[in-house]
Structure 1
Amino acid sequence: MFNAVQKENQPLAERVAEQIAQLIQERELKEGDRLPNEFDLAQELGVGRGTIREAVKQLVARNILTIQRGKGTFVTQNPGIVEDPFGFNYEQDQQKLGLDLLEIRMVIEPWIAEQAARKATLEDIREIYDLCDRVERLICQDASHLEEDIRFHVAIAQASKNIVVPKIIPVINRSVDMLIAMTHSALLQETIETHRAIADGIAAHDPEKAREAMQQHLKYNWDCIHQKLAQEEKDI
């Protein structure tokens, strides 16, 4: 039977959820890997199938597992990172939140790009360029590029090879979403150019170039937002 650290008086389903999470870690299961079926897990962990179902539900809620009907249960992307772990949705002043998120990104994301330039693999670089191309294509088609823009920044974060950086991906994701809305997608050409410069810096393994390109990318957003805010004040 799988051995996991158990807390005193912890409900059985919670203990089994921890055991399954430990199984994922010890077997080095990655995004998209399929878990053993319900029957096999119940046999391995020595519990009933109902307990397995309840444990899986808890892991789904924690964004560790995802259930695909008719196919099985799979490990999610970025296990454990939920959609809004910092409670951004409940902040009253969303405009200030957007600016504060951008301030944080201006501190940490140039460093992330620098680390990606040092440590990115050929596969990382190919993915970053592919996402760069997708964003540009969507912009040229006058289609929403939000999802691919987020994936571009996430790919850079993952290429940094720092195990802490992926944990702050929700900050980057929420900020990209808010910035596109706050700038009213005004920075389309700037996005194409700076994304390309960031990708080129990482591909060349040039930390300074990657850092400066990321700084410029974020500065365009900062300047654009403050120009819009200043104009709104004049119009009042």
Structure 2
Amino acid sequence: MPLLRAPLADQAADALLERIRSGEWTLGEKLPGETTLAPQLGVGRSTVREAIRQLAGRGVLQSRQGAGVFVTALDAPEEWDAVLRRADILSVIEARIAIESEAAALAAARRTPAELRALRRTLDARGAAGADAGLEAHVDADTAFHRAVVAAAHNDILAELFDGFVPRLRQAMVEMLRLRPVADEAGDHDAHRALLDAIADHDAVAAARLSRDHLASLKERLS
């Protein structure tokens, strides 16, 4: 049936995606050509090309020069920002555990002297930004330390994932600390220092464990 609502390219992309989701084409399968798809969708070939470009941008299709268009995913992932906006803070902390414990282990193996100095600076700044500095300042200083750990892992994907959490995490942490202040700030800071020491000592096992334990205790406070 012809697609009547504008924009036609968006409608054509949705129709193609629905056919992929339904199993009409399997992963890795080549799509029919534009001359076949255009009359099926009730649009022109240029609209089909734009729809394919849209789905290629979303990782569902891939155009291969001289070979055609192939299915590279069976669904389009939801936008990352939308996922984070909907996620509850416990889910974010659980994801942080997975990301940061691995990042801590990698940091212990890969950190440079300059990165170790950066970790020490951010830890000192975190210690200076205690409760008297305000909740926002404390959360920002804490985040900067954890970001320095992730940076020392030398893994761009882990860093990008962590950075994606920051806006969602910041406000939630401020609100949580307002309702449930840290009972033992000195002990909490010591836990961060122990993590830095493990990274400094190239102890990947201890670094991963300390990172996981710290974030797991945070999760327990939220439960």
TM-score category by the smaller chain? Answer: 0.5 to 0.7
Alignment of 1:128 onto 2:119: yes
Alignment of 1:179 onto 2:173: yes
CA distance in 2, matches of 1:132, 1:214: 14
Alignment of 1:204 onto 2:201: yes
Map 1:132-147 to 2 at 5 A.
132-139=123-130, 141-143=132-134, 144-147=137-140
Alignment of 1:99 onto 2:99: no
Match of 1:157 in 2: 150
Structure 1 segments unaligned to the other structure (5+ residues): 1-83, 227-236
Q: Is the 8 A contact 1:183 1:221 kept in 2?
A: no
TM-score for the superposition, normalised by structure 1: 0.53
How many residues in Structure 1 have an aligned counterpart in Structure 2?
A: 139
CA distance in 1, matches of 2:164, 2:188: 19
Structure 1 residue 133, shift from structure 2 partner = 0.8
DSSP 3-state at the match of 1:161: coil
- Structure 1 residue corresponding to 2:210, chosen from 208, 213, 217: 213
CA distance in 2, matches of 1:176, 1:148: 13
DSSP 3-state at the match of 1:125: helix
Structure 2 segments unaligned to the other structure (5+ residues): 1-78
- The letter for the 2-side match of 1:117 is A
Larger Rg: 2
More contact order relative to length (CA 8 Å, sep ≥ 6) = 2
Closer/same/farther in 2, CA of residues 163 and 202 from structure 1, 3 Å limit: same
Closer/same/farther in 2, CA of residues 102 and 90 from structure 1, 3 Å limit: closer
DSSP 3-state at the match of 1:205: coil
Closer/same/farther in 2, CA of residues 175 and 194 from structure 1, 3 Å limit: farther
DSSP 3-state at the match of 1:195: helix
- The letter for the 2-side match of 1:151 is A
Q: Is the 8 A contact 1:190 1:220 kept in 2?
A: no
Q: Is the 8 A contact 2:131 2:138 kept in 1?
A: no
Structure 1 residue 180, shift from structure 2 partner = 3.9
Per-residue CA deviation, residues 145-194 of structure 1 (Å, 9 max, x unaligned), is 12221111111111101121121123442454123422436223343122
Closer/same/farther in 2, CA of residues 148 and 142 from structure 1, 3 Å limit: closer
- The letter for the 2-side match of 1:194 is A
Per-residue CA deviation, residues 21-50 of structure 1 (Å, 9 max, x unaligned), is xxxxxxxxxxxxxxxxxxxxxxxxxxxxxx
CA distance in 1, matches of 2:141, 2:111: 19
Match of 2:71 in 1: none
TM-score for the superposition, normalised by structure 2: 0.56
Map 1:1-236 to 2 at 5 A.
86-87=81-82, 90-91=85-86, 97-139=88-130, 141-143=132-134, 144-174=137-167, 176-177=169-170, 178-184=172-178, 186-187=181-182, 188-226=185-223
- The percentage of counterpart residues that share the same residue type is 22
Closer/same/farther in 2, CA of residues 172 and 89 from structure 1, 3 Å limit: closer
Q: CA RMSD in A?
A: 2.3
CA distance in 2, matches of 1:203, 1:172: 26
Q: Is the 8 A contact 1:124 1:155 kept in 2?
A: yes
CA distance in 2, matches of 1:90, 1:225: 18
